[in-house]
Structure 1
Amino acid sequence: MTRRIALTVLALVTVLLLLAMVPLGWLLTEREQTSYRSTAQADTRAISAAAEEHLSDHKSDALTLRLLAQAQQRGDCAAVYGAHGAVLARTSCAGATTGTAGALVTATLADQMSRTEDAQGRLTVAEPIGDTEDAVGVAVLARSLDPLHDRIWAVWGWLALIAVAGLVAGTLVSVRLARWVGRPLHAVDQVAQRLGEGALEVRAETGSGPPEVRRLAATFNTMAARNEALVHGHRTVIADVSHQLRTPLAALRLRLDLLAGDVDGDAALELTGAQEEIARLSRLVDGLLAVARAESAVPLPRPVRVDEVVAERVAAWEPVADERQVALTAHCPDGLSTMLGEGDLEQVLDNLIANALEAVPAGGRVRIEGTSGPGSLGRRTIRLRVVDGGPGMTPRAREAAFRRFGNPEARGSGLGLAIVHRLVTANGGTARLEDTPGGGLTVLLELPAAGRD
């Protein structure tokens, strides 16, 4: 936005300068041309008046010769023609006696009026001598146009310099204005991004920028404070309830275990069912507590060796897989590293492996695959796939699997994938579910790569 504001203001300044400078330049150019032409005509009339005193009144031609000498000193060419077109006096330069000047003299004598002509880089002025109805000769002055061109170039040069100075000033003002408006908005955007990533304590600065932006920052801070209070309250309730339920559940389970040795028959069967429900309820409470902790955690990413963590977790779960007669394998190239919070990858893999082993029947297979490659936004990512050959999920179940208790087909608490999704997205990654070719479910994780893999 800062660039757009600056470019818009700069374009407006440029248009205004063009609308002002171009007409002014043409006006000053015409003024210089008119002034130059008027000065040449005045000098020619002076020579014509002096020549009239000599030709008509038969006075001395000293004044005429002096004016011709002054004209030559200025760099002009001048000549005095008689009534029949013969040159009576002239300067040493022949600019006023060339073919162009001769034609101009003939036309002036015929029309009995002054004439001017621009040709070959010279301004030639012809002024009749004597009465306009009965001229006794013609005074001709030829003046170079170079001084006029120099003055015109100087005018346009100054205008261009003023325009450049205006553009520079407009650029500085537009950039300053754009930064004044854009920086606070950019700061609010960054704070909003951090808030979306889970840093609920962040607040936007309200002391800079236009009043509208300051009000926006204040409103955002109010919203962020309310969200923080709501989220913390929600997490606290879940954590407190989960924590408080664990103690009575453990005591109840212990009492049922003690009671199981004193009963038999149908009562023993009912007691066994109660123990299973207590165990399921305990897992549910533990899952809620894990979700609350995952949602309240703000990860501090650090490099994690994916291949080492995968090998470690596979080794830890192999006894469980062997007991259930499920083949648990992993293929992860050496050197793969990702940026995750401490312990997050272990928790993610534990939940995914536990779900996969629960879903795959005896004789089935669970494998973990790790690869590296380009991801979204042009950055490199680490891809982890946990592939199982179980019954899979329906499309409806996959859509809700990452929500707490969202999967109606879940065999356990329905919180494992919610924990996985929270931990992965909090670290800047993505998680999605796909069908395994041949049947089953594949969990695909994309994690930010650390360094160059």
Structure 2
Amino acid sequence: MTRRITWTLLVLTSVLLVLAVVPLAVLMTARERVAFRDSQRAATRVIAAVAEEHLSDHKPATVMRQELDAAARVGDCAAVYDASARLVASTPCGAARGVEAEELAEKVLSGHEPEPPENEGRLLTAEPAGEIRAPSGAVVLARSAAPLDARISAIWGWSAVIASAGLAASVLLSVRLARWVSRPLSRLDASAQRLGEGALDERADVGGGPSEVRRLAATFNTMAARMEALVHGHRAVLADVSHQLRTPLAALRLRLDVLAAGAGGDTTEELASAEEEIARLSRLVDGLLAVARAEQVTTRPVAVRVDEVVAERVAAWSPVAEERGVRLTAPDGPALSAALGAGHLEQILDNLIANAVDAVPEGGHVTLDHRATGGLVRVRVRDDGPGMSPEAKAVAFRRFGNPEAKGTGLGLAIVHRLVTSNGGTARLEDTPGGGLTVVLELPLRPEA
């Protein structure tokens, strides 16, 4: 945003400066040229006036010589020609004499007004001595164009300085303006990112920037506060209910154990059924607690070696799988690192392996593999069990969504929550030949 604002104001200022400064410099240059020529013609007319008295009235040439000497003192070159374009008198400088000067004098004597030419860095002007239609002679005056060129250079130099100063001021102001606008937006973006990562106490700064940005920050803080209250309230209710249920369930199970010890016959069977229901409720409460903990995760991505975690969890679950007659394997894969929260991959694999081992009948097989694909780490947990129906797969990641689940129905919900909170995806596929495959796609962390 800072660059866009800066470049926009810079281009706009440049266009305005070009449209304002360049025409002004051109106009001032033209005025300087006109003023210079007018001044030169006025000096020429003064000499032409005294030359006309000498040529037509035959007065002494003393005054004409004085004017020619005065012109020479200021650096001008002048020459007086008679009606036949013959040189009568001139200054020591020869710029007003020669072929070009004589041609200019002839044109003036013939009644024309020629365009002043330039000779050796000097501008030539010619004026008739006497009446224009019947002049008694002509005066040619050559004046150096250096003062004019210096004034024109000064005009364009000052114009460039003013334009550069305006452009520099525009850059400075545009950068300050862009930072004034973008800095609070950047802080607001960082606050939103931290809030999205789970820092529910994050609040934006409302003390800087335009009024619209301050209102946006205040609205963001209101939203964050309400979200924090709702999430904490939801977590608190879930955790409190789960904890409150565990105590009476444990007490009820103890009493049933006592009753079962002194009962017999049908009563023992009924008590055993009741104990199984109590155990199922206990697992359900434990699952709810696990869900509450999963929803409380604050994702702070770190580099997690997927190959090492997979090998570790397979080694940890192998005794359980062997006890149930299930083969648990993980072929060697590439050394890959994923950007995940600490301990999240272990919890994800524990839930998936537990579900797979429970679902596969004795003699079955569960396989874990991983590989890199398109900037992601793909982890698959495959089994050759009974699999899931399309209806069950559609709701498997919801809490209690799978009516076919043997356990609490919360394991895949925990997996989905942990995977998505880390920026990954989870889906269910059928295993070729029968069974279920859970496919996880996790963000790949490049090796340093």
TM-score for the superposition, normalised by structure 1: 0.88
Instruction: Give the C-alpha shift of residue 134 in structure 1.
Output: 1.9
Are 1:420 and 2:419 an aligned pair? no
Alignment: residue pair count: 444
Equivalence for 1:54: 54
Are 1:431 and 2:425 an aligned pair? yes
| Distance in 2 (alpha carbons) for counterparts of 1:66 and 1:409 | 125
The CA deviation string for residues 329-366 of structure 1, in whole angstroms up to 9 with x for no partner, is 12355754445444322212111211222333433322
Q: Is the 8 A contact 1:44 1:127 kept in 2?
A: yes
Instruction: Give the C-alpha shift of residue 447 in structure 1.
Output: 3.8
Secondary structure at the residue paired with 2:40? helix
Amino acid at match of 2:116: E
| Distance in 1 (alpha carbons) for counterparts of 2:311 and 2:407 | 25
Equivalence for 1:264: 265
Equivalence for 1:186: 186
Are 1:110 and 2:110 an aligned pair? yes
| Distance in 2 (alpha carbons) for counterparts of 1:62 and 1:388 | 127
| Distance in 2 (alpha carbons) for counterparts of 1:66 and 1:390 | 126
Q: Is the 8 A contact 2:107 2:113 kept in 1?
A: no
RMSD, aligned α-carbons: 2.8
Are 1:441 and 2:445 an aligned pair? no
Instruction: Give the C-alpha shift of residue 224 in structure 1.
Output: 0.9
| Distance in 1 (alpha carbons) for counterparts of 2:114 and 2:364 | 111
| Distance in 2 (alpha carbons) for counterparts of 1:362 and 1:88 | 134
Amino acid at match of 2:265: D
Q: What is the aligned counterpart of 2:383 among 379, 383, 388?
A: 388
| Distance in 2 (alpha carbons) for counterparts of 1:71 and 1:160 | 35
Describe the shift of the 1:373–1:99 C-alpha distance in structure 2 as closer, same or farther (beyond 3 A). farther
Pairs within 5 Å for 1:119-268: 119=118, 122-260=122-260, 262-265=263-266
Q: Is the 8 A contact 1:127 1:140 kept in 2?
A: yes
Are 1:405 and 2:400 an aligned pair? yes
| Distance in 2 (alpha carbons) for counterparts of 1:174 and 1:51 | 65
Equivalence for 1:363: 363
Q: Is the 8 A contact 2:197 2:299 kept in 1?
A: no
| Distance in 1 (alpha carbons) for counterparts of 2:242 and 2:83 | 125
Instruction: Give the C-alpha shift of residue 435 in structure 1.
Output: 2.3
Q: Is the 8 A contact 2:356 2:366 kept in 1?
A: yes
Describe the shift of the 1:69–1:339 C-alpha distance in structure 2 as closer, same or farther (beyond 3 A). same
Equivalence for 1:288: 288
Secondary structure at the residue paired with 1:135? coil
Describe the shift of the 1:204–1:399 C-alpha distance in structure 2 as closer, same or farther (beyond 3 A). farther
- After alignment, is 323-332 or 183-192 more displaced? 323-332
Describe the shift of the 1:22–1:248 C-alpha distance in structure 2 as closer, same or farther (beyond 3 A). same
Q: Is the 8 A contact 1:390 1:441 kept in 2?
A: no
Describe the shift of the 1:423–1:52 C-alpha distance in structure 2 as closer, same or farther (beyond 3 A). same
Equivalence for 2:321: 321
| Distance in 2 (alpha carbons) for counterparts of 1:421 and 1:154 | 75
- After alignment, is 363-372 or 37-46 more displaced? 363-372
| Distance in 2 (alpha carbons) for counterparts of 1:345 and 1:299 | 12
- What is the identity percentage for the equivalent residue pairs of Structure 1 and Structure 2? 58
| Distance in 2 (alpha carbons) for counterparts of 1:392 and 1:95 | 110
Instruction: Give the C-alpha shift of residue 393 in structure 1.
Output: 4.7
| Distance in 2 (alpha carbons) for counterparts of 1:421 and 1:360 | 21
Describe the shift of the 1:323–1:129 C-alpha distance in structure 2 as closer, same or farther (beyond 3 A). same
Instruction: Give the C-alpha shift of residue 154 in structure 1.
Output: 1.9
Describe the shift of the 1:150–1:247 C-alpha distance in structure 2 as closer, same or farther (beyond 3 A). same
| Distance in 2 (alpha carbons) for counterparts of 1:406 and 1:98 | 111
Q: Is the 8 A contact 2:383 2:431 kept in 1?
A: no
Q: Is the 8 A contact 1:84 1:137 kept in 2?
A: yes
- After alignment, is 114-123 or 248-257 more displaced? 114-123
Secondary structure at the residue paired with 1:206? coil
Secondary structure at the residue paired with 2:188? helix
Instruction: Give the C-alpha shift of residue 275 in structure 1.
Output: 3.4
| Distance in 2 (alpha carbons) for counterparts of 1:282 and 1:332 | 38
Describe the shift of the 1:430–1:90 C-alpha distance in structure 2 as closer, same or farther (beyond 3 A). same
Instruction: Give the C-alpha shift of residue 192 in structure 1.
Output: 1.1
| Distance in 1 (alpha carbons) for counterparts of 2:19 and 2:394 | 61
Are 1:87 and 2:82 an aligned pair? no
Q: Is the 8 A contact 2:191 2:204 kept in 1?
A: yes
| Distance in 2 (alpha carbons) for counterparts of 1:70 and 1:396 | 114
Q: Is the 8 A contact 1:388 1:436 kept in 2?
A: no
Instruction: Give the C-alpha shift of residue 325 in structure 1.
Output: 2.8
Describe the shift of the 1:403–1:114 C-alpha distance in structure 2 as closer, same or farther (beyond 3 A). same
| Distance in 2 (alpha carbons) for counterparts of 1:24 and 1:399 | 75
Unaligned 5+ runs, structure 2: none
Instruction: Give the C-alpha shift of residue 269 in structure 1.
Output: 5.2
| Distance in 1 (alpha carbons) for counterparts of 2:322 and 2:224 | 49
| Distance in 2 (alpha carbons) for counterparts of 1:398 and 1:105 | 108
Amino acid at match of 1:423: L
The CA deviation string for residues 416-442 of structure 1, in whole angstroms up to 9 with x for no partner, is 22222333344x330221525515323
Amino acid at match of 1:85: A
Amino acid at match of 1:174: S
Describe the shift of the 1:202–1:131 C-alpha distance in structure 2 as closer, same or farther (beyond 3 A). same
Instruction: Give the C-alpha shift of residue 387 in structure 1.
Output: 2.8
Describe the shift of the 1:133–1:450 C-alpha distance in structure 2 as closer, same or farther (beyond 3 A). closer
Equivalence for 1:378: none
Instruction: Give the C-alpha shift of residue 29 in structure 1.
Output: 1.3
Q: Is the 8 A contact 1:332 1:371 kept in 2?
A: no
Amino acid at match of 2:155: V
Instruction: Give the C-alpha shift of residue 404 in structure 1.
Output: 2.7
Pairs within 5 Å for 1:57-72: 57-72=57-72
| Distance in 1 (alpha carbons) for counterparts of 2:401 and 2:13 | 58
| Distance in 2 (alpha carbons) for counterparts of 1:125 and 1:395 | 103
Describe the shift of the 1:394–1:47 C-alpha distance in structure 2 as closer, same or farther (beyond 3 A). farther
- After alignment, is 152-161 or 62-71 more displaced? 62-71
| Distance in 2 (alpha carbons) for counterparts of 1:429 and 1:47 | 94
| Distance in 2 (alpha carbons) for counterparts of 1:412 and 1:66 | 125
| Distance in 2 (alpha carbons) for counterparts of 1:442 and 1:388 | 9
Instruction: Give the C-alpha shift of residue 228 in structure 1.
Output: 0.6
Q: Is the 8 A contact 2:238 2:289 kept in 1?
A: yes
